């Protein structure tokens, strides 16, 4: 039996803990926050992430809390520019909009039911390794383990302790988000966006059940440059409502009459690593490849990471006579790093190209709109847009798209 410690009880950490525990490894999760119920808005789970949840046996539980999303539609004025329908990628595919806290709670409960030890308010602060073991230091002591999984999010400081070439670049733009209840919004299955150039973007994502009120809810995303954070904070809710009114008056009214609305600012970063492992340490989720949420892939990629890691550990055990010994952890992590590289590189590159088209001060909104509309009318290009959205592209040269399964 191998002994594995996971740093971080987010999506990547919990999904890994579930899969590795089921494979018979001894797993302990260390989470630095004492109460890890995530604040946050909606996430869009793509067919790629849904397949991973199916492998985890949690897809039905997720669907019970989520909203089915059939399409993504974006408008500049009354001109529909973005028009992506999942069913044109595959007749059975759709997105699932879910509140982050609901997804977290489902993963959390599953890990607890399996008896995973989760240490709260006790983060991993440092580690060292030799050929045999990893020494992981937490806030209350230290442990000698066979492998360390770093899954502690975009701002990971543990990542810095690896001798791996890496960049962490905060984005100059972020977003205001709010979760709003509504039973009678006329677009319960569409992620709708409105644009004014690349400077203004307002999105409404169907988000399923609001865990705070148990009512049907939607997530509002309003893109804003970091340089204006202070100005926005000063103007408060009335200022935000006024800006939104100029773009979408109905949504401004909705926000103005939503006493339950939680509202906050999100910041993003772009993280790149030349490799995802070093010896007995492997990096997953946002700690490995955080990106702007423009493509809606981060949570899905965290779930894929966990699933592929479990596959690699299982393969490695098979190669070593069915019994995973402590040395095969290194081989499994190396295989993981190699297997994840193309998929991650593709989505990071597309995210880097696309993000300024939707969030920047450049006068390129018209170029984006023309390109999106033109691409829509070329079936081969449209199909690639859809495969990208669904999380199915496995690399630049993959034209058919694959949804990986455990
Ligand atoms: C506004 C916004 C919208 C988004 N929309 C989407 C979307 O539509 N679809 C999508 O797929 N993704 C979306 N994402 C991205 C998605 O939320 C992330 O990719 C995903 O949460 C990453 O999961 P993770 O487990 O890697 O990291 P996290 O969820 O950040 O979890 C990391 C955990 O590690 C803990 N931690 C930190 N340091 C330590 C330490 N030293 N020791 C122990 N624990 C530690 C943290 O407290 C946290 O609990 C969005 C993100 C934002 C900000």
Average pLDDT for 227-235: 90
Measured in Å, residue 367 CA sits from the centre of ligand 1 at 32
175 lines ligand 1 (CB under 6 A): yes
Q: Which residues contact 197 (CB under 8 A, 6 or more apart)?
A: 363, 364, 365, 366
The distance between the two most distant Cα atoms of the chain, rounded to a whole number of Å, is: 66
31 lines ligand 1 (CB under 6 A): yes
Enumerate the β-bridge partners of residue 373: none
Enumerate the β-bridge partners of residue 263: 178
> CA–CA separation, 294 vs 257, rounded Å?
28
User: What mean pLDDT is reported for the chain?
Assistant: 94
- Mind listing the pLDDT tens digit for each residue in 80-135? 999 999 999 999 999 999 999 999 999 999 999 999 999 999 999 999 999 999 99
* Rg of the chain in Å (alpha carbons): 21
9 lines ligand 1 (CB under 6 A): yes
> CA–CA separation, 383 vs 47, rounded Å?
15
- Its pTM surpasses 0.85: yes
- φ, ψ dihedrals at 381, nearest 5°: -70, -45
pLDDT at 373: 95
208 lines ligand 1 (CB under 6 A): no
Average pLDDT for 204-215: 96
- Least confident window among 140-154, 197-211, 256-270: 256-270
> CA–CA separation, 208 vs 219, rounded Å?
10
pLDDT at 23: 94
Closest residue by Cα to atom 1, ligand 1, is 266
Q: What percentage of the chain has pLDDT greater than the value 90?
A: 86
Q: 89, 71, 54, 92: which is closest to 388 by C-alpha? A: 89
pLDDT range class, residue 382, cuts 50, 70, 90: very high
Q: Which residues contact 91 (CB under 8 A, 6 or more apart)?
A: none
Closest residue by Cα to atom 52, ligand 1, is 293
Q: 85, 82, 121: which is closest to 203 by C-alpha? A: 82
> CA–CA separation, 357 vs 363, rounded Å?
9
SS3 402: coil
> Greater confidence, 340 or 324?
340
pLDDT at 401: 86
Average pLDDT for 13-18: 98
pLDDT at 193: 97
pLDDT exceeds 80 at position 244:
yes
pLDDT exceeds 90 at position 243:
yes
> CA–CA separation, 43 vs 29, rounded Å?
23
97 lines ligand 1 (CB under 6 A): no
Kindly write down the DSSP assignment for every residue of 145-160, as one continuous string: ESEEEE---TT-SSGG
Whole-angstrom CA distances from 189 to 79, 84, 297 are 20, 12, 19
Measured in Å, residue 355 CA sits from the centre of ligand 1 at 19
> CA–CA separation, 308 vs 317, rounded Å?
14
Q: Which residues contact 371 (CB under 8 A, 6 or more apart)?
A: none
CA–CA–CA angle 65, 11, 46 (5° rounding): 60
pLDDT exceeds 80 at position 62:
yes
> CA–CA separation, 386 vs 393, rounded Å?
9
pLDDT exceeds 70 at position 216:
yes
pLDDT range class, residue 320, cuts 50, 70, 90: low
- φ, ψ dihedrals at 60, nearest 5°: -65, -40
Average pLDDT for 345-361: 94
SS3 72: strand
Whole-angstrom CA distances from 243 to 53, 222, 253 are 38, 10, 12
> CA–CA separation, 246 vs 258, rounded Å?
19
Q: State which of 15, 286, 347 you would mutate to test the pocket of ligand 1, scoring each by most atoms of that ligand within 8 A of its C-beta.
A: 286
- φ, ψ dihedrals at 38, nearest 5°: -75, 135
16 lines ligand 1 (CB under 6 A): no
pLDDT range class, residue 268, cuts 50, 70, 90: very high
pLDDT range class, residue 324, cuts 50, 70, 90: low
Enumerate the β-bridge partners of residue 205: 219
pLDDT range class, residue 236, cuts 50, 70, 90: confident
Kindly write down the DSSP assignment for every residue of 211-225, as one continuous string: TTTSSEEEEEEEEEE
pLDDT range class, residue 267, cuts 50, 70, 90: very high
pLDDT at 261: 80
pLDDT range class, residue 277, cuts 50, 70, 90: very high
* Domains in the chain with CATH codes: 3-169+269-389 (3.50.50.60)
153 lines ligand 1 (CB under 6 A): yes
Measured in Å, residue 100 CA sits from the centre of ligand 1 at 9
């Amino acid at each position: 039996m191998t002994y594995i410690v996971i740093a971080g009880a987010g999506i990547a950490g919990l999904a890994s803990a579930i899969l590795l525990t089921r494979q018979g490894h001894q797993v302990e999760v260390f989470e630095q926050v004492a109460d890890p119920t995530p604040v946050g808005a909606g996430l869009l789970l793509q067919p790629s992430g849904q397949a991973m949840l199916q492998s985890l046996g949690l897809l039905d539980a997720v669907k019970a809390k989520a909203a089915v999303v059939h399409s993504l539609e974006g408008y500049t004025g009354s001109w529909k520019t973005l028009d992506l329908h999942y069913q044109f990628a595959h007749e059975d595919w759709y997105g699932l909009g879910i509140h982050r806290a609901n997804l977290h709670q489902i993963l959390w409960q599953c890990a607890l039911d399996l008896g995973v030890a989760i240490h709260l308010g006790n983060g991993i602060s440092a580690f060292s390794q030799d050929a045999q073991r990893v020494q992981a230091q937490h806030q209350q002591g230290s442990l000698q383990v066979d492998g360390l999984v770093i899954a502690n999010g975009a701002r990971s400081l543990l990542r810095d302790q690896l001798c791996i070439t890496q960049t962490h670049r905060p984005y100059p733009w972020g977003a205001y988000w709010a979760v709003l209840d509504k039973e009678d919004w006329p677009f319960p299955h569409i992620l709708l966006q409105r644009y004014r150039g690349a400077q203004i973007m307002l999105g409404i994502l169907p988000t399923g059940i609001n865990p705070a009120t148990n009512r049907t809810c939607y997530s509002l995303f309003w893109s804003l440059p970091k340089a204006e954070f202070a100005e926005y904070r000063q103007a408060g809710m009335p200022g935000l409502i006024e800006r939104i009114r100029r773009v979408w008056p109905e949504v401004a009214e909705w926000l103005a009459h939503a006493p339950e609305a939680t509202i906050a600012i999100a910041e993003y970063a772009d993280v790149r690593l030349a490799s995802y492992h070093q010896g007995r340490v492997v990096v997953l989720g946002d700690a490995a490849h955080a990106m702007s949420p423009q493509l809606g892939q981060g949570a899905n990629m965290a779930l894929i990471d966990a699933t592929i890691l479990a596959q690699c550990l299982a393969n490695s055990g098979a190669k070593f006579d069915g019994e995973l010994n402590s040395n095969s952890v290194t081989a499994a992590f190396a295989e993981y790093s190699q297997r994840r590289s193309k998929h991650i590189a593709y989505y990071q590159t597309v995210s880097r190209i696309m993000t300024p088209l939707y969030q920047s001060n450049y006068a390129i909104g018209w170029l984006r709109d023309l390109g999106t509309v033109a691409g829509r009318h070329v079936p081969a290009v449209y199909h690639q847009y859809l495969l990208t959205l669904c999380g199915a592209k496995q690399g630049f040269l993959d034209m058919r798209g694959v949804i990986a399964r455990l």
